[in-house]
A and B are shown apart, each in its own frame.
Chain A
Amino acid sequence: MDYLSIIVLIFSPLIAAALLFSSFFKHNEVRIRRFSKGFASLHFLYTILFLVFFNPLKDGISYYKEITFFGSDWIQPLGLKMAFGLDGLSLLMVILTSFIFLLALIASKSNIKSKHKFYYSMIFLLQTAVLGVFCARDMFLFFMFWELELVPMYFLIGQWGDKKAKASAMKFVLYTFFGSLFMLLGILLLHFYNFATYGNLTGDFSQIAISTPEFPMFMQIVISILLLIGFAVKMPIVPLHTWLPDAHVDAPTPVSMILAAILLKMGAFGIIRFNMQLLPEAFKLIAPVLVIFAIVNIIYTALVAYSQTDLKKIVAYSSISNMGIVLLGLCSLNLIGFSGAVFQMIAHGVISAGLFMLVGIIYIRTKTREIIELGGLGAVMPRLMGFGLILSLAAVGLPLLVGFVGEFLVFLGAFNSDLDIKIYTGLAIFILVLSAAYMLRLLHKTFWANIFEKWQGIKDITNHEFVVLFALILVVGFFGVFPMAIIEIVQPVLTNILQFLQI
């Protein structure tokens, strides 16, 4: 197992980015693209190896590694280490990241027409940042990668997006920065109170988790809320969600895929890492309030999604709605709900990536996303319609597809919750109707009905696009039938959290 280095896993995309940015690569579009895709494939295979040698039943963190600089830690005076490690949850997210980035790179061919060097190096920089967030074992390291992700995202949305993309990118950065400063404050307080209680300066997750029960309860709640603001922006939770539709609509298709599939999951991941693992008691008190936010998230954004006319906005709002389901699962405080939430994170990652791909394919060919101007595309694009049908049904929650498992587990967990949130859950179940409404509306208005004269000559999907969609469909189908494959990996982490919650 020694040859599997987590350092290579995280920083090899950075090296690829540096290579692509350097003058070693000339402005040759084809070579840059092939190198990127080849590299991403290798990276994906490498992450699969991590899965193969991973022992999910073993408690704790595997592949733990620290980087030292000339014999001293990252920021030794503050006791901060550059430490990385994988538990079940991070492993899942790492594999999802590598997978989605590979597909996004394949999808980039038809979407990115200029500044290739810069684009591909930014994508790889983003990959390093995201992997760093998922693998970090130190709070400040987590925060560093969390912030680092903003830089490539700013360029990716702003440089290759639509007309208003620069404003949207700025909005995205400012919102996230706003949230993450509160998060930083929470982290600093955690760091300081750990020092005040135990007298050792550290940012290590497992050590902080030991000392947090000793904090004053008031401080635990304050820290928890501060951290939650940061994650709520990213996730997003409703009052802080307005950056997301803009960013999604203006970003190019591959970036939208990454944004929906991975970056939103970082918010949920942060809640599990910080609020649940580090501050379980405070989370227990906050959870009943968060449920209300989750319900508003689910129902309100689903209604908004139904009223949209822009295809991408429908998918964007449905993403927010789905993240509400994740939040509901996390607030149910039992194993079924947690498993459902994590499963929904993966499921939504795959499905939303597919849906954004679908919208992107339509947009490239028709140059419009307005639902009124489309219609009857199924006649000229039968293969796309097939994929679209499966993906939307998965999003709606058809049994035997991933969407069903996630939603079902979450609602089951919420009903059985000790928090007595049955009424709220009953409300949330309406999402099944609402999501069917907006998804089938999307399908109906684009693929069925009468076709306009101007869309007659449109070509069906290319091989590149076929590969992307087919890979996603495979995942959607496989884990819909074998959900335990995902849940088993992540279960030790979740049971561990539950043990802390039951204190």
Chain B
Amino acid sequence: MDFLQNITNIMLPEMTIVAFILLQIILSMFLDMKFYKLAKWLTVLGIFLATSLCTKVQIEPIYYGFKNAIISDNYTIFFKGLILISSFLIVFLTKKTISSRRNSAFQFNALILTVILGALTLVSANDFLTMFISMETLGFAMFFLIAFDKGFKSKEATFKYLIISAVASSIFLFGVSYLYGITGHLNFSLIYEYFLEKNPTLLYSMAAIFITCGLTFKLGVIPFANWILDIYEDASTSVVTLLSIVPKVAMFGILARLLVFPLSYSFELTFVLVLIAVVTAIWANVLAIRQKNIKRLLACSSSANAAYVLFTVSLVSVFNLSTVLFYLVAYIFMNIGVFAAVIILESSEFSNKLYEFKNFAYTNPVFTLCFATCILGLAGFPITAGFISKIYLFSAIARSGLVFLPFLIVLMITIVVSVYYYLRVVKFMFEKSDTVESEVIAYKTSSAIVILYCCAAITVVLGIFPSKIIELCQLMAYNI
């Protein structure tokens, strides 16, 4: 009965999601195509239930369930909330993707729920095996979601994703196998305790580097970053929104735990990660300059943002962790806002080329204002969450030691580059042109518009009044 008790104590949100996945799959067999709208609302209900059940999860004192394979504390519940809230917003953006393939609406929603399930178990993993299984759950659902769109392009994208994912996973497993060879454990806490008595060897550092390199795939940073541009362009936009947020948030959650517990003894790892972050920031920001497609540009931007966070995560300290949490919160809302705007544009028959954005400021002022707020937030201009989160993040790096100052300066210069390409998007929207026909956006996607407005509003509110959220983040970071 230990098993059931564990489930009722800490796994209720996950179990709700599992129940709704099964429900979706069963319904897809029986229900007619015309009920396709039901699928979305079921997903929404499932996520809502899971979110509310998060309050029932036992977190004080820290709960180790399933023979230490799953951990439940303040930190995991924060990430679970973050994942559920962001996916709650993203589900409302899937309308256009589903409308082209109504007969598969239930499968699509089941896959989305599977991604969420993978992410939820990933952040609460306390064991390399649980972690790997959750990662693959997340990844496999993602393959099908990327391929969901009609046409061969999405299939090509999913194939690229699949291949690189396989390579990254094998590298991760290679690292884990070495770590197992050294310590004889797969559990995070046990590995941590093992090295309290013994000195870590160079082999341990190598294993740590391999493990984190395997994880870089889902974060979209170098060395496994080259998939990101093509897949962002070819996959359906709502899937890309999911791809750019849920796996990343979950991965940063588990990466921080890895760096705090089992991999915390490797000094080499810190420098490798800092180097990876800086190189990725340079690569992504330079690559973004010439992009003419908004989705490709956002791919570079998400990669760059992941690099900033990775920089801070790698300099492990409680304060740094709290800045990372706040950065993720701010980034989620800005990013969803931008993608919602892209989805609105797509459903009013715009292509994703930047030059089609001309005249927007004069034909759709409110839409432009919200879109520009989110974009400027990503660029880090004041009175947006992006400004506060960047200051907060850099304050963490600045106090981590003078050794990292040169890296920080390089990072800051790449941010100047990023301002250029973000402003270019805004510039196009305010440009007047007679040749480009810019119709008033058809308000077909009312849910996406609501999401855009909400995200813009949250971005501004967090930019003016971040105090309470930062306090929450600090509380969570102290409780890892």
> A: which residues have CB within 8 A of B?
69-70, 72-78, 115, 118, 140, 143-145, 147-148, 150-151, 154-155, 158-159, 166, 170, 173-174, 177-178, 181-182, 184-185, 188-189, 191-192, 195
Contacts and interface: CB of A to CB of B under 8 A. Distances in A.
A65 B388 CA distance: 22
Interface of B: 322, 361-362, 376, 381-383, 387-388, 391-392, 394-395, 398-399, 405, 408-409, 412-413, 415-416, 419-420, 423-424, 427, 430-431, 464-468, 470-471, 474
Contact of B395 (A155, A158, A170, A191): A191
A158 B430 contact: yes
B468 A147 contact: no
Contact of A77 (B419, B465, B474): B474
A144 B387 contact: yes
26 contacts: A72-B467, A72-B468, A75-B388, A75-B392, A77-B470, A77-B474, A78-B392, A115-B362, A143-B391, A144-B387, A145-B382, A147-B381, A148-B381, A148-B383, A154-B423, A158-B430, A159-B430, A170-B423, A174-B419, A174-B420, A178-B416, A181-B415, A182-B412, A188-B391, A188-B398, A191-B395
Given A72-B468, A151-B376, A173 B474 contact: no
Nearest to B392: A78
A76 B467 contact: yes
Contacts of A148: 381-383
A181 B398 contact: no
A76 B395 contact: no
Q: Which of B391, B413, B424, B430 has the most CB of A within 10 A?
A: B391
Nearest to A129: B382
B412 A185 contact: yes
Contact of A192 (B376, B383, B395, B419): B395
A66 to B, nearest CB: 13
Contact of A75 (B362, B415, B420, B466): B466
B413 A170 contact: no
A174 B420 CA distance: 7
Contacts of A189: 398
A118 B429 CA distance: 14
Contacts of B382: 144-145, 147-148
B419 A177 contact: yes
Contacts of B395: 78, 188, 191-192
A102 B339 CA distance: 40
Contacts of A118: 361
B398 A185 contact: yes
A153 to B, nearest CB: 12
A69 B416 contact: no
A243 B361 CA distance: 27
Given A147-B387, A150-B381, A151-B381, A184 B394 contact: yes
A485 B408 CA distance: 46
Contacts of A178: 413, 416
A47 B433 CA distance: 42
A76 B361 CA distance: 36
A181 B420 CA distance: 14
A204 to B, nearest CB: 16
Contacts of B409: 182, 185
Given A70-B465, A174-B419, A178-B416, 16 more contacts: A69-B464, A73-B467, A77-B470, A115-B362, A144-B383, A144-B387, A159-B430, A166-B427, A170-B423, A174-B416, A185-B405, A185-B412, A188-B398, A188-B399, A192-B395, A195-B399
B427 A170 contact: yes
Q: Which 3 A-B pairs have CB atoms at the shortest separation, nearest pair first? A: A188-B398, A181-B412, A148-B382
A130 B130 CA distance: 54
Q: Which of B376, B415, B419, B431 has the most CB of A within 10 A?
A: B419
Contacts of A151: 376, 381
A78 B466 CA distance: 11
A489 to B, nearest CB: 30
Contacts of A73: 467
Contacts of A159: 430
Contacts of A147: 381-382, 387
Contacts of A195: 399
Contacts of B424: 170
Given A147-B382, A151-B376, A181-B413, A75 B467 contact: yes
Contact of A76 (B398, B427, B471): B471
Contact of A185 (B392, B408, B419, B423): B408
Contacts of B467: 69, 72-77
A278 B381 CA distance: 26
Contacts of B322: 77
A154 B466 CA distance: 26
A75 B468 CA distance: 8
Contacts of A72: 467-468, 471
Nearest to B383: A148
